[in-house]
Amino acid sequence: MSTIDEAPAPELPWERFWQLIDLIGGAPAVAVCATFDDGCERLTAALAAGPVEEIVGFGERFAEALYGLDREEYGTQRAVDPDDPEEEPLPLSDDGFLYARAAVVAAGRAAYEQVRADPALFAAHSFRSGESLLYAHEEAYETATGEEWEHVTRYDFESCSNREGWPNL
């Protein structure tokens, strides 16, 4: 198991990270979407076919991207059902917030940067679930090495772990 105290994880350039994300084919739909799951499977296969260092580097960059969205201005937004905007908005659960952040990443670099620049744009992703993306690099690692993913990333991507992003916690 790798920890922060051991040798640093391989550095994956952001450009390569976003190229790999583009293999998914875009953000998940609001409803359960087989197309998104197929895209995550394409990403998993591409990662598994490459060097293990790229899989680990992808996991690191993904955790960092999720951590960057783990902020109060996103997490306190309420989820609005785009199919029924008149319905009362719902608070995001910790898991719902994580899955929505993964959906932003899955939408690609431009969407991610837009949401980072304007937190109000996060609401458009609040009813989407990028949960499948959370496991792509772990499954690729298992395929490539025959071992379970036990790497501890530098950034903790669980909801509310970014202390700077949640000053009122």
pLDDT tens-digit readout, 17-32? 999 999 998 777 655 5
pLDDT at 6: 52
**Residue 166 belongs to a domain:** no
- Give me the chain's average pLDDT, please: 88
Q: Which range of residues forms the domain containing residue 96?
A: 14-145
Cα distance between residue 60 and residue 9, in whole Å: 8
Token pair for 49 = 């076919």
pLDDT at 29: 62
**Taking a C-beta distance cutoff of 8 angstroms, is the pair 101, 94 a contact?**
no
pLDDT(1) > 50: no
**Residue 82 belongs to a domain:** yes
Cα distance between residue 154 and residue 49, in whole Å: 24
> How sure is the predictor about 78, in pLDDT bands with cuts at 50, 70 and 90?
confident
pLDDT at 50: 94
Number of domains in the chain: 1
**pLDDT tens, position by position, 100-158:** 999 999 999 999 999 999 999 998 888 888 999 999 999 999 999 999 999 999 999 99
**Residue 36 belongs to a domain:** yes
**Residue 85 belongs to a domain:** yes
**Tokens 């395929």 sit on residue:** 143
As a whole number, mean pLDDT of residues 58-63 equals 97
pTM for the complete prediction? 0.89
Cα distance between residue 137 and residue 40, in whole Å: 9
> How sure is the predictor about 33, in pLDDT bands with cuts at 50, 70 and 90?
low
**If DSSP states are collapsed to H, E and C, what string results for 107-158?**
CCHHHHHHHHHCHHHHHHHCCCCCHHHHHHHHHHHHHHHCCCCCCCCCCCCC
**Taking a C-beta distance cutoff of 8 angstroms, is the pair 167, 161 a contact?**
no
Cα distance between residue 138 and residue 136, in whole Å: 6
